[in-house]
Amino acid sequence: MLYNIDMNLLSEVTEIQGVGPKTATALNKYGFYTIKDLIYYFPRSYEDYKKTTKISDLTPGKVIIRGKIRNLKTQYTRRRNFNITTGEVYDETGAVKAIWYNQPYRSKTFKENQTYFFTGNFDFKYNHYQLTSPTTVLADDIYETDHENSGFQPIYPAKGSYKSIWFKRMFQNLRNEIAIVPDLLPIVKPGLRADALFNIHFPDSFDDVEKAKEYLAYEEIFELILASRLNKNENSKLRAEPLKFNAKNTKELVNALPFQLTNAQRLAAWDILKDLEKATPMNRLLQGDVGSGKTVVSALAIYQCFKAGKQSALLAPTAILATQHAKTLKNLLGPLGVKVELLIGATKKKDDLKARIKSGEIDVVVGTHAIITDDTVFSDLAFAIIDEQHRFGVMQRQKLLLKTGDKTTAPHLLAMTATPIPRSLQLTIFGDLSVSTISELPKGRTPIKTKILNETEMKEQLYPVLNQKMKDKEQIYWICKLIEETGRSEASNVKKEADKLKMKFPKAKIEFLHGKMKTDEKDEIMNRFKDGKIDILVSTTVVEVGVDVPNATQIVIMDAESFGLAQLHQLRGRVGRGTKPSNCFLITSGDTPPSQRLSELEKSTNGFYLAEVDLKLRGPGEIYGQLQHGVMNLKIASLTDTKTISKAQKDVEVFLQNPDNMIKCKELMSEIKKYQQLTTLN
C-alpha cells in the first residue's frame, strides 16, 4: 500500500530465506539488522555479461566469452621460472586457447562441462591468437535474468567472508519483495522507489543504474534536509530570554574599541544582536577566517546580554584559548562594569567562584568544558558562546542547554568557527543553523606567504629568514607533531627539537610547550611569549586554535604532510595577525612531491576556498563524520550535487506544508531520526 510502512522492510534479516540465526549474528556485526539495511546495501560496480562474443566472431581487445573449458594443462618452465596454465575455451562456434601465468591452481578449479564467463584480452601473441589471463565466473553464480545470456551483473563489496556472490544470491531471494517496496516519499511519483531499488540490484544496463542512483541520491538528500528542518522547528518551540538591543549601549562599547570595526564585523554583529532580542533561542554560526575578528563581535553580544541583566558563558576548546579570551573580555568589558571570570580545570578557589556564579555576581564565565561538566550552576544564563565549535560534540551542547535549569528554556547559542561550512552542507546537514559570515580581514593586514620546503632546503631558505626576523624583534612558532618519541616514528618531538634549535640559533630565547604540561606552566609560557620574552616557541598543536599574538609573524610546521588541510590553515592563522608581513613554512621530509593539500595551501589563504577543497578531497564523512559518530557516510548522494540539493529543498517545503505527511510516512520519520542528532548545531 502506498505511503505506508511495510513491516516486511523493517523485519529482521532472519526473515529472509536462507538466513539463519548464525548468519544473522554475523550480519548484525556489519550493521545489517533489518531487511531494509540489506536492501540499501548497494553494488560497488557492474559487469556487463550480456556483451558476450561468440568465438567465431572474436576480434582483438577485451572480450567476454560464454563457454566451457577442456584440455587444461599446467607446465613449469625452468628457464623462465614460470608456471604456465593453458586450456581450450570453446562454445558452439569454435575454440580458442586461454593462457594464465603463475596461476597453477587454475587447472584444478575448473570443472569440465560447466559453463563459465571468461573475461580477458584476446590478442595475437607468439604467432597465434590467445585469450590472456581471463577472469572467470561460473555461469550458475550469475543469476539468470529475463535474458537468455545471463546479463548485467552487480558486484558487491565483500563483508568479511560474505563475498559479492553471497549478496547476489541473497538478493535473488528478495527479488519479488524488492520489486514492490512501498513508497517512502509521498511527493514523488508512486513506484519510483521500488523501481530504483530494483534497478540498482537487478539492472539491465548502465542507464538503469544511473536512473536508480538519481532517485536514491535524491532520497538521501531529502532525508537530510527534512531532518534539519525538523530540528529547526523543534528549536523554535523552545523559549529563550529576549535580550533587548539598545543602540546607546552598543555605541558605548564600539567607541571604546582600540580599532574601527570592519563592515563585515558590523553586519555579523547586527544579525546576532537582532537574534538576541527574540523570545526563541538563537542558533547561529559565526564563521570568519582566522584573524577576522570574531571575538570582538561576541563581546558586543555579551554586552547586550549584560545590559539586559543576564549572564553569559563562553566555551573554548583549550585552556590556553579560554585564558586568552578571559583576558580580552576583561580588557574590553571590565571598564564598563562587566564582571568576567575564568573557569578552567586549574582555576584556584573553584568553589568560591562557583558560588559567585550561582549568586549572579559574575556576569560572564569564560572557560573550557569545566563550565559544563562540573557542577556549575548559573543564576540566569541567557547566552552561550562556543568558540571553534567544530571541536564540541552533541553532548556538550545538550548539557549547556540544560544550564538554564528549565527544559523549555534554552540559552541563545552562538557558535564561532574558522573552519567554514561549505555552502552545500549549509543547505543540507546544517540547514537549521542561521549563518553569519565575516568575509573580510581588518585593514592593514599583509597576506601570509606560504612556502613548502623539504629538509634540505631549510638551511638556505629558512634559517636566514628566521635570523633576520629575530633581529627585527619578531617572533616564531615552531610546530611539531608529537610530544614524545614513539618508537620508530620519525615525527619530531618538542623537547629534542628545541635543543636542536638552540644549537642552530644560539642567541635566541627558545622555549617549548605541549599539551601534557600543567595549565599553570602553559599559561606562564604563553604569557611570556605574548610579552615578547620568547623568540621561538616550539609547540605541539596546542596553539592550533585561536591563540592571538600579533607580533609572532613566522610559523614553521614540521612534518606538514601529517596534518589535515583545515588544521594547517588554522595553524597558519597564528601568524598574520598584525600589520607586519608574515610567513608560513611547511616542512616535508623525504623527496616525494608535496600533496595536493599542501599545494592548495601554498596557493591560497582563503579559508572558504580551502574548506571546499577539503570537502572534495576527503568528503564530508571524514571532516564532519568523526565528530558525529560516522552517520554522515552518504551512500550515493554527493553533497556537491547542487541540482539535487535544491530540488530536494523545495520538495521538503512542500512536504512540510501538509502535516498529515508526517503521520503517514512512518518509515521516513523513523529513518530521519538518525540524521536529526547530527544536524543540530554541535
Residues that bind Mg ion (CB under 5 A): 546
Binds 574: which of Mg ion, ligand ADP, none (CB < 5-8 Å by kind) = none
Q: In whole angstroms, how close is the CB of 431 to ligand ADP at the nearest point? A: 24
Residue 418 makes contact with ligand ADP by CB under 6 A: yes
Checking phi first, is residue 207 left (phi over 0); if not, alpha (psi -120 to 50) or beta? alpha
Contact 453, 588 (CB under 8 A): yes
Binds 290: which of ligand ADP, Mg ion, none (CB < 5-8 Å by kind) = ligand ADP
The 3-state DSSP class for residue 311 equals strand
Q: In whole angstroms, how close is the CB of 315 to ligand ADP at the nearest point? A: 14
Binding region for ligand ADP (CB under 6 A) out of 101-109, 122-130, 347-355, 544-552: 544-552
Q: In whole angstroms, how close is the CB of 188 to Mg ion at the nearest point? A: 44
Q: In this complex, which beta carbon is closest to Mg ion, that of residue 43 or of residue 317?
A: 317
Q: In whole angstroms, how close is the CB of 387 to ligand ADP at the nearest point? A: 7
384: closest CA among 406, 364, 370, 354? 364
Q: In this complex, which beta carbon is closest to ligand ADP, that of residue 224 or of residue 316?
A: 316
Q: In whole angstroms, how close is the CB of 328 to ligand ADP at the nearest point? A: 7
Binds 619: which of ligand ADP, Mg ion, none (CB < 5-8 Å by kind) = none
134: closest CA among 67, 82, 46? 67
Binds 288: which of Mg ion, ligand ADP, none (CB < 5-8 Å by kind) = ligand ADP
204: closest CA among 314, 16, 46? 46
Q: In whole angstroms, how close is the CB of 520 to Mg ion at the nearest point? A: 23
Contact 315, 385 (CB under 8 A): yes
What is the CB-side half-sphere exposure of residue 168 using CA atoms within 13 A?
21
Binds 291: which of ligand ADP, Mg ion, none (CB < 5-8 Å by kind) = ligand ADP
387: closest CA among 395, 379, 396, 378? 396
397: cell is: 551542547
- Contact track, ligand ADP, 439-458, x by CB under 6 A: ---x----------------
Binds 262: which of ligand ADP, Mg ion, none (CB < 5-8 Å by kind) = ligand ADP
Q: In whole angstroms, how close is the CB of 676 to Mg ion at the nearest point? A: 29
d(CA 560, CA 587): 6
Burial bucket for residue 516 (CB in 10 Å: 0-12, 13-18, 19+):
exposed
The 3-state DSSP class for residue 652 equals helix
Interactions with ligand ADP, residue window 275-294 (CB under 6 A): 288, 290-294
Q: In whole angstroms, how close is the CB of 422 to ligand ADP at the nearest point? A: 19
Q: In this complex, which beta carbon is closest to ligand ADP, that of residue 494 or of residue 542?
A: 542
Residue 607 makes contact with ligand ADP by CB under 6 A: no
Tell me how many degrees the CA angle 242-282-547 measures, rounded to the nearest 5: 115
Q: In this complex, which beta carbon is closest to ligand ADP, that of residue 134 or of residue 293?
A: 293
483: closest CA among 469, 494, 468, 471? 494
| Among 186, 550, 621, 625, contact with ligand ADP (rule: CB under 6 A) | 550
311: closest CA among 366, 257, 251? 366
For residue 472, count other CB atoms closer than 10 A to its CB: 9
Binding region for ligand ADP (CB under 6 A) out of 33-41, 253-261, 454-462, 612-620: 253-261
| Among 68, 369, 530, 577, contact with ligand ADP (rule: CB under 6 A) | 577
d(CA 438, CA 262): 9
Q: In whole angstroms, how close is the CB of 325 to Mg ion at the nearest point? A: 8
Q: How far is CA 258 from CA 253, 348, 385, 402, 441, in A?
A: 10, 31, 23, 36, 16
Q: In whole angstroms, how close is the CB of 387 to Mg ion at the nearest point? A: 6
One-letter amino acid for residue 215 of the chain: Y
DSSP 647: H
Binds 135: which of ligand ADP, Mg ion, none (CB < 5-8 Å by kind) = none
Give the residue closest to Mg ion by C-beta.
546
Binds 30: which of ligand ADP, Mg ion, none (CB < 5-8 Å by kind) = none
Alpha helices for 359-484 (secondary structure H): 370-373, 394-402, 423-427, 455-461, 463-471
Binding region for ligand ADP (CB under 6 A) out of 208-216, 228-236, 371-379, 545-553: 545-553
Helix 319-333 to helix 247-256 angle, to the nearest 10 degrees? 110
Q: In whole angstroms, how close is the CB of 547 to ligand ADP at the nearest point? A: 8
What is the CB-side half-sphere exposure of residue 682 using CA atoms within 13 A?
22
Binds 442: which of ligand ADP, Mg ion, none (CB < 5-8 Å by kind) = ligand ADP
Please state the length of the chain: 682
The 3-state DSSP class for residue 182 equals coil
Binding region for ligand ADP (CB under 6 A) out of 233-241, 259-267, 275-283, 595-603: 259-267
| Among 30, 82, 259, 609, contact with ligand ADP (rule: CB under 6 A) | 259
Strand partners of residue 64: 119
Residue 296 makes contact with ligand ADP by CB under 6 A: yes
Residue 267 makes contact with ligand ADP by CB under 6 A: no
For residue 134, count other CB atoms closer than 10 A to its CB: 24
Q: In whole angstroms, how close is the CB of 607 to Mg ion at the nearest point? A: 12
Contact 217, 637 (CB under 8 A): yes
The 3-state DSSP class for residue 82 equals strand
d(CA 353, CA 343): 8
Residue 261 makes contact with ligand ADP by CB under 6 A: yes
Q: In this complex, which beta carbon is closest to ligand ADP, that of residue 292 or of residue 493?
A: 292
Q: In whole angstroms, how close is the CB of 295 to Mg ion at the nearest point? A: 5
Strand 94-101 versus strand 116-125 pairing type: unpaired
Give the residue closest to ligand ADP by C-beta.
293
Q: In whole angstroms, how close is the CB of 552 to Mg ion at the nearest point? A: 15
| Among 295, 304, 475, 539, contact with ligand ADP (rule: CB under 6 A) | 295
- Cell 547586527, residue? 270
What is the total count of residues that contact ligand ADP (CB under 6 A)?
Answer: 19
- Rg of the chain on CA atoms, in Å: 32
In which order are the strands placed within the sheet that holds 340-343? 340-343, 364-367, 311-315, 381-387, 412-417, 283-288, 434-438
Binds 89: which of Mg ion, ligand ADP, none (CB < 5-8 Å by kind) = none
Q: In this complex, which beta carbon is closest to ligand ADP, that of residue 261 or of residue 394?
A: 261
Binds 577: which of Mg ion, ligand ADP, none (CB < 5-8 Å by kind) = ligand ADP
Binds 611: which of ligand ADP, Mg ion, none (CB < 5-8 Å by kind) = none
- Contact track, ligand ADP, 465-504, x by CB under 6 A: ----------------------------------------
Q: In this complex, which beta carbon is closest to ligand ADP, that of residue 196 or of residue 290?
A: 290
* Footprint of ligand ADP (CB under 6 A): 259-262, 265, 288, 290-296, 418, 442, 546, 548, 550, 577
